[in-house]
Chains A and B, each alone.
Chain A
Amino acid sequence: MPAPADWSSETLLAKAKLYVEEMELHDATDWRYALWSSFALELLARAALAHTSPVLLAKTDHVKHIYFALGIEAGAAGTAKSIEFSEVASRLNELHREFTPELRDFAVLHLGYRNAELHSGAAAFPNAARWVGRYYSTCKILLKILGLGLGDFVGDAGAAEALIREAADDAAKSVKQDITSHNKVWLNLDQVLRDQREQEALAWAGRERGHRVACPACRSVALVEGRPLGPPRAQVNEAEQEVVVRQAMLPTGLRCVACNLRIAGEARLRFAERGDAFTHNRTESLPAYFGLYTEDEVHEAVEAETRRFMDDDNNE
C-alpha cells in the first residue's frame, strides 16, 4: 500500500528544498532567512524519518493515524496527525547514530525559536552567525540519512561546507580555551590544595559512576559519561556464579571535580581528545541477572507466581 503523499519522504524533501531556496533568497541578517530555515529544517527532518518509514511520523494516540501512514483509507484522511518535532528529532537520534544528541538539541532549539517567532512579538532568532554552521551541519546529516548530499539541497554546497568547518573550528577553539583557562586556575592553586582536590576527585570518580580518564586541564581523575552503543553482551561465569555484562558506550560528557572542568557533547569531547568509545563493565550474580530465586526465597517465589495467575476475588 503506497504511503500517503503528505507523509512521503519524497514530497517532504521536495517541499524542504523549496523552503531552503526561499531562505537563500534573503540575506543572513534578514529575519526571513531564519524563518524559512526553520521551515526547511523541520520538513527535512520529517523526510529523513519518513525515509525509514512514514509510519514513524504517525501519532500513536489513535490507530487511525497509523492507518493513514500505511495508506489504508479508514476515515483518517484530513484528520490524521503526525508527531511533534521534538519527537521527530528524538526518533532520528535513536535510529541514526550520526544524528547525534547535539544535532538533535540544536534542531529542537532552532524550531523553538521558530515557534517563539510565530507566537510572540519577539524577534526570536539569534544572529545567524551563531547558528548557521550548525544548521548546515544538521542538514548535511539529515541529507546523508536520505542518501543525498548538500549539493542536492542548497544552492552553494561549497559555501555551506565552509560554514560547517568554521563552526567546527569555533567549537574546537572554545573547548581548548576552556581547558586552558581551567589549567591556569589550577596551576595558580596552592600545591596542598591541589593534592587535596586530586584525592577528592579520586574518591569521587568511582568506576561504577562512569569511565575514568585523565582530566585534560589538571590531569586528575575525571569521569566520562556515555550512552549505550549497541546491545550489551553478557558473559556467564558459572564457577563464580556471576555474569559480567559489557556495554559499549559513546562518550557524551566529561566532568572533573578537581578543577571543575565540564565538557558536554560528543564533538567537544573529540576536540578535547577524550571522545573515544569505551566499554562499561558490570558484574551481577547469576540469580540476580536471570531473575532466579535462591533456595531461601522459594516460598516467596511460589507466592509471587501464584498471585500472577489468580483473578481478583471481589467476594473476599
Chain B
Amino acid sequence: MPRAYRVHSARPLPWMGWRSRPRYDRPVNHLDATLQADGFVVARCDPTASTEMIAGQLGTIYLHPPASGRPSFDAVRALAPTESDRAAPRSYSARFGYNPFPLHTDLATKPEPPRWVLLRAVGTPTGVGTTLCDGLEVVRRVGVERCAHAIFRAGGGGPPHYLRMLDRLHDPRRLRWDQAFLQPANSAARHVQLAFAELAHLQHRVPLVRPDAVLVIDNWRMLHGREAVTEGDRGRLIERVYLQEMR
C-alpha cells in the first residue's frame, strides 16, 4: 500500500497563528515526536485516499458508539455546520449553531475518551479555522492541584455521572474539558471554570482547507473549537475519526 501521507508540522505561536510555509520534508516517524512536543500536527496526505484508510495507517481507530438513529458503530463522522434548530439534540451544533464552538476535548463526558482526533476537510474550501489551545498550559496556569481535584457532572445524554477534570493515573495525564456538557460539581471545579474563562487568549487557529492535509490532535491534552461560520462558509465539511493509539 503506498504511503498515504507525509508529515509536516509548524509550531504556531499563540499570537501569530499558522505559519505560511509548511515543510514537507519531515519523515513520517517524526509524527509521534511532534505530537508529543506540540499536542497536534498537520500531516500531508494523499487527497485521493479515504479518511478511514489514512486513519487506519496512523493508528487504531476508536469506534464511536452509535448515536440515536444510527444503526452501527461509525469509524468516520462527517461534520457540517448546521443551524441549531436542525441539529441533532445534545450536539454542539444544537447549542451553538453557526456561532463559534468553544474550546473543548471530544467525548469529554465519557469515562474513557479517545486519545487522538483526526480532522480532514473534504468539502468546499472555506476560511473557517479550527481553534486550538494547549490544555497543559491552561492546567499550569490554573494550578495542577486545583485541576486534579476538580469534579464535573456529565450530562448531555445517557445517565448523568461524575468525572475528574484531570486524571493523573494515566501517563501522559488525561485532561477533559467541555463547558457545554460538563457542569462543576465541587468548589475546585467552579474555580477552574472561572479561571478558564480568562485564558481564552491562549488559543490559536489552524485552517483546515484541503483534503491533502489531516489535523491530528492529542485529545487528552489539546482543547479545540471552531470559528464562526458565515453564510459563505456553510459548505464546510470535515471528516472526523478518533484513534485510540498511534502505530
Contact = CB atoms under 8 A, between A and B. Distances in A.
Contact of B161 (A2, A5, A152): A5
Contact of B110 (A2, A18, A146, A148): A2
Interface string B148-176: 11010010001101111001110000000
Interface in A1-21: 2-3, 5-6, 8-11, 13-15, 17-18, 21
B159 A6 contact: yes
A18 B161 contact: no
A14 B65 contact: no
B22 interface: no
B235 interface: no
Interface residues of A, number: 18
A147 interface: yes
B133 to A, nearest CB: 23
A10 B163 contact: yes
A8 B168 contact: no
Contact of A5 (B111, B151, B164, B168): B111
Contacts of A13: 164
Contacts of A15: 161-162
A10 B186 contact: no
Interface in B101-150: 110-112, 148-149
A148 B163 contact: no
B185 interface: yes
Contacts of A152: 148, 168
Contacts of B168: 148, 152
Interface residues of B, number: 19
B151 A17 contact: yes
A124 B69 CA distance: 51
A12 to B, nearest CB: 9
B110 to A, nearest CB: 7
Nearest to A147: B169
Contacts of B186: 18, 21
Given A18-B186, A152-B148, A5 B110 contact: yes
Q: Among B161, B164, B168, find the residue whose CB has the most chain A CB atoms closer than 10 A.
A: B161
A5 B158 contact: yes
A146 B169 contact: yes
A-B residue pairs, 4 tightest by C-beta: A8-B111, A14-B162, A10-B111, A11-B161
23 contacts: A2-B65, A2-B110, A2-B111, A2-B112, A3-B111, A3-B112, A5-B110, A5-B158, A5-B159, A8-B111, A8-B161, A9-B111, A10-B163, A11-B111, A11-B162, A14-B151, A14-B161, A14-B162, A17-B151, A17-B164, A18-B185, A146-B169, A152-B148
